[in-house]
Chains A and B, each alone.
Chain A
Amino acid sequence: MSDSDLNSPTATLDTSPADIEREAQHHRRRMTLNMGPQHPSTHGVLRVLLELDGETVIRAYPDIGFLHTGIEKQCETRTWHQVVPLTDRVDYLANMSNNLVYALAVEKLLNVQDEMPQAVQMMRVLLAELQRINSHCVWLGTHALDIGAMTVFFYCFREREDVLRIFEMFSGQRMMTSYIRPGGLALEPPRGWDKAVRKFIDAFPEKVDEYEDLLDKNPIWLRRTKGVGFVPLQDLIDWGVTGPMIRGAGVPWDIRKDEPYSGYEKYDFRVPTLTENDVWSRYRVRMEEMRQSAKIVKQALDGMPDGPWQLDIPRVTLPDREKMKTQMEALIHHFKIVTEGMKVPAGEAYQAIESPRGEIAYYVVSNGSSHPHRVFMRTPSFGNLQVLPPMVEGKLIADTIASMGSMDFVLGDVDR
């Protein structure tokens, strides 16, 4: 029956059972639904084209690129130090991780990574782990909100605010910190930073218990998460999924353990894994990661030596202010770095670290000049989001929301 048949008066006035059946068939046609780009549960501008049969998703097609700002192209026009603020804007919930991986990649090319002062390395670890706590708090709050548990959101953002205040103390910025730079840290840590961090980190493990009290025995939460969003492990590996998603499927793969950077091998922490491979296991893995991060922060805080907070290599970092006023060479180096930019030896380096979302890696290519020839960002959200169709196809549409939340993607990280 075509549309015109349905609209004709005979079809509505004189209806036989066969007509009703035919009409039902007509309405059970597959429906195409546009989820996003402004849907609240996509957390940004992601458009997913869903083909539905009733409430079942037949086909899902993620359409990305709405937030593409050409960051990789912009990097090529900046000096090596000017790229740092761009890295903040890639994954705006994990700025410190992005700063850190860029700094490590450039230091690898400069071949100065072994000379990095102990204090810088420990402070980098401390900040990266605070960032993980921050990012997981945002994830848990918004994920729970998507599924219908509203209170968790307020609890999580309370702690996130504390972390942001600490970041503001360090760098003057709450989110776009640009604090970790090639050659060390941007500034000396502010007076009283250790007290602020200690106050937060002593109280934090109890806060994780609070979140769990709200969720772990909540029957709605359990039914919305258990057994939802399952993808076979082999598929996850073939699709290149990283981070808490692969650890929630039973693979204890964490770059902090396997390819330690910034001295992670010296810290005592555990890589949580679960084998259920569903939304629930990803939730449990991240909760445990928050506790482990708190443990790492505490160790870094207890063992933190006094500065220096930068490398003392004139071709890489700006000279000390005092030296600049008294020594001619220091003034020349300052002038060269500010006007020309630092020169990085030709070559290419690939550096991967464990961001809150998975493997974040920068591939930097230098042709020996003061600008990068190419900066490629292998971002975890881009790799993880690819697995959305196999995860949601054939399942209910409501589970799509829960599955998407469990992936914890940031659209800035996907589109760059």
Chain B
Amino acid sequence: MISDQVREIPVVSALVAQLPDAITAGTLRLKELTLEVDPTRIVEVCRFLKEDQKLNRLSAITGVDLYPVEPRFEVIYFLHSMERRGERLRLNCRLHGDNPEIDSVTPVWPGANWYERETFDLFGVRFRNHPNLTRIMMPDDWEGHPLRKDFPIHGHRYSYKDE
């Protein structure tokens, strides 16, 4: 559901006109604009926002785990415009916990590389077409994804392979 107030924002109206089905919801809370995007269309949406709407910088990508709610993962993209100073937009994709997979936006922004690796490492969300989807924070043979809510805080045993 996109409220009329959100629909009137130029970026949103342009996006809805160009890619009508890609946006499933939009909210404006605490002066921050968040759009919920169909996960299968994320690359199209990002490319349009970057090339047409001058939201030309990707600030970060991260995840949020809403366990036990399904679809449990949110992948969040923080966009920023270097030309219209101070304009920011947040894109939010909901992914099901069984096989969380989404297309990589590295073809649009090379800087998405490490953020996607980090989200993969800590949440276990797989990014399709990523050039090098390996762990970045945790050791390569680590089991599990630490920022998931069902990952224990204490008592995790790990033996370093080189020891």
Contact = CB atoms under 8 A, between A and B. Distances in A.
A374 B111 contact: no
B146 interface: yes
Nearest to A387: B111
A109 interface: yes
Contacts of B109: 238-240
Contacts of B22: none
A73 B59 contact: no
B147 A378 contact: no
A378 B85 contact: no
A350 B32 contact: yes
A280 interface: no
- 4 smallest beta-carbon distances between A and B, as pairs: A240-B111, A258-B85, A378-B60, A239-B111
A392 interface: no
Interface string A239-281: 1110000000001010001110000000000000000000000
Given A73-B151, A73-B153, A361-B78, 10 more contacts: A64-B137, A109-B30, A238-B109, A240-B60, A253-B85, A258-B86, A373-B64, A374-B65, A378-B60, A415-B137
Nearest to B109: A238
B55 to A, nearest CB: 12
Interface in A303-362: 347-350, 352, 359, 361
**Which of A70, A240, A257, A374 has the largest number of chain B CB atoms within 10 A?**
A240
A378 B153 contact: no
Contacts of A235: 110
A368 interface: no
A383 interface: yes
A350 B87 CA distance: 13
Interface class of chain A by DSSP:
mixed
A70 B146 contact: yes
Given A108-B30, A109-B30, A363-B78, A259 B86 contact: yes
A386 B111 contact: yes
A68 B138 contact: yes
Given A64-B136, A373-B64, A111 B30 contact: yes
Interface string B112-145: 0110000000100000000000011111000000
A365 interface: yes
Contacts of B32: 348-350
B58 interface: yes
30 contacts: A237-B82, A238-B110, A238-B111, A239-B109, A239-B110, A241-B111, A251-B82, A253-B85, A259-B85, A259-B86, A347-B30, A348-B32, A350-B78, A350-B88, A352-B59, A361-B78, A363-B60, A363-B76, A363-B78, A365-B64, A374-B65, A376-B62, A376-B64, A378-B59, A378-B62, A383-B59, A386-B113, A386-B114, A387-B111, A415-B137
Contact of B29 (A70, A73, A347, A352): A347
Contact of B57 (A70, A111, A237, A361): A237
B56 interface: yes
B22 to A, nearest CB: 21
Contacts of A378: 59-60, 62, 78
Interface string B85-114: 110101000000000000000000111011
Nearest to A74: B153
Interface residues of A, number: 41
A349 B136 contact: no
A82 interface: no
A114 to B, nearest CB: 12
Interface of B: 29-30, 32, 34, 56-60, 62, 64-65, 76, 78, 82, 85-86, 88, 90, 109-111, 113-114, 122, 135-139, 146-147, 151, 153
A338 B76 CA distance: 33
Contacts of B113: 386
A89 B109 CA distance: 29
Contacts of B111: 238-241, 383, 386-387
A65 interface: yes
Given A349-B32, A361-B60, A253 B147 contact: no
Contact of B30 (A77, A237, A251, A349): A349
A259 B29 CA distance: 17
A109 B30 CA distance: 8
A374 B59 contact: no
A238 B139 CA distance: 28
A380 to B, nearest CB: 10
Nearest to A257: B85
A76 B119 CA distance: 17
Given A374-B64, A376-B60, A65 B137 contact: yes
Contact of A240 (B59, B85, B122, B147): B59
B39 to A, nearest CB: 19
Contact of B62 (A240, A241, A259, A363): A363
A359 B59 contact: yes
Nearest to B32: A350
A235 B138 CA distance: 28
A164 B32 CA distance: 36
Contacts of B146: 70, 73
Contacts of B151: 73
A416 B136 CA distance: 12
